[in-house]
Chains A and B, each alone.
Chain A
Amino acid sequence: SQQGEEDPQALSIQEGENATMNCSYKTSINNLQWYRQNSGRGLVHLILIRSNEREKHSGRLRVTLDTSKKSSSLLITASRAADTASYFCATDAGRVQGAQKLVFGQGTRLTINP
C-alpha cells in the first residue's frame, strides 16, 4: 500500500531558487526518510528524521516533520542543475516480524532550469 503521498507531483524552478516538496502519510511512523532518484537509476538515501525530531539539516537540505499532521517537507536551498531528479519520501512504521518495510510515496519530479 502507498502510504506516502507527495506534493507537488512535478516542480520546475530556476537555478538558485529554493525547492520545497511535501509528503503526507497515514499511520504512525518510527522515522521518515527522503531518497533521490536520477532518471533511470537507483535511489540514493538523502536524510532520515525520527518521529521525535521536528527538523533536521544536511548541507543544503532541510527536512521537517509534523507528526500531528502526519506530514513532512524537504527543502533544497540554492538549487543547482545537478539537483534535477525525482525525490521520494519513505515511511518506516517499525519492524514487522523483525523486518524493516519502507513504504514509498509516488515522488516529486524536480527540474532545475539553468
Chain B
Amino acid sequence: DGGITQSPKYLFRKEGQNVTLSCEQNLNHDAMYWYRQDPGQGLRLIYYSQIVNDFQKGDIAEGYSVSREKKESFPLTVTSAQKNPTAFYLCASRARGLSYEQYFGPGTRLTVT
C-alpha cells in the first residue's frame, strides 16, 4: 500500500514538554509539508521541504522544528515555545515537477494540558 502514515493518531502531552510527530511516505515524493488545523478552520502551513536536508519555514513556524534526513521521513517537533500547541496536525507530500496535487496523511491530534 502506497501512502503517507502519521503516528500516533492521538497524542497527549503536558505543557512544557517537547513532542515529535512522525510522518513517513513511501510514494517516492520529493516535497513534504506540515500543516496545522484548528477546529472549524482551514490549514496553515508550518514547514515544508523540497529535498532531503533542506526545509523552509511556512506561515506559522514559530515554536516548531523539523528535519529531513531521509526522503521518506519528515518529523515535526512541537516545542515548549509553541504557545497554543493543541491542534490537528497534517502531513502531506507531492511528487516532483509539474505535479500539483498534494497527498495527505491521516493526521495526528495533539492535546497539551
Q: Which residues of A contact B (CB under 8 A)?
A: 1-2, 4, 9, 31, 33, 35, 40-45, 48, 88, 92, 97-107, 109
Please report the C-alpha to C-alpha distance between residue A102 and residue B104 in the assembled complex, in whole angstroms: 13
- On whether the beta carbons of A45 and B101 are closer than 8 Å, the reply is yes
> Knowing that A9-B40, A40-B107, A43-B92 are A-B contacts, what are 16 other residue pairs whose CB atoms are under 8 Å apart, sorted by A's residue number?
A1-B59, A2-B42, A31-B100, A35-B104, A42-B6, A43-B43, A43-B102, A45-B103, A98-B50, A99-B31, A99-B48, A102-B102, A104-B44, A105-B42, A106-B41, A107-B42
Q: Most B CB atoms within 10 A — which of A4, A97, A103?
A: A103
Interface residues of B in 62-113 (CB under 8 A from A): 88, 90, 92, 94, 100-107, 109
Given the interface pairs A104-B42, A104-B43, A105-B42, the reply to whether A99 lies near B101 with Cβ below 8 Å is no
Q: How far, in angstroms, from A31 to B103 measured CA to CA in the complex?
A: 17
CA distance A49 to B5 in the complex (A): 28
Query: Is B58 a contact of A101 with CB atoms below 8 Å?
Result: yes
CB-based nearest A residue for B104: A42
- The answer to whether A92 touches B100, judged by C-beta atoms less than 8 angstroms apart, is yes
CB-CB < 8 A to B4: which residues of A?
A: 42
Q: Residue B45 at the A interface, CB < 8 A?
A: yes
B107 touching A42, Cβ below 8 Å? yes
Contacts of B58 in A (CB 8 A): 101
State whether B90 touches A42 (Cβ < 8 A).
Answer: yes
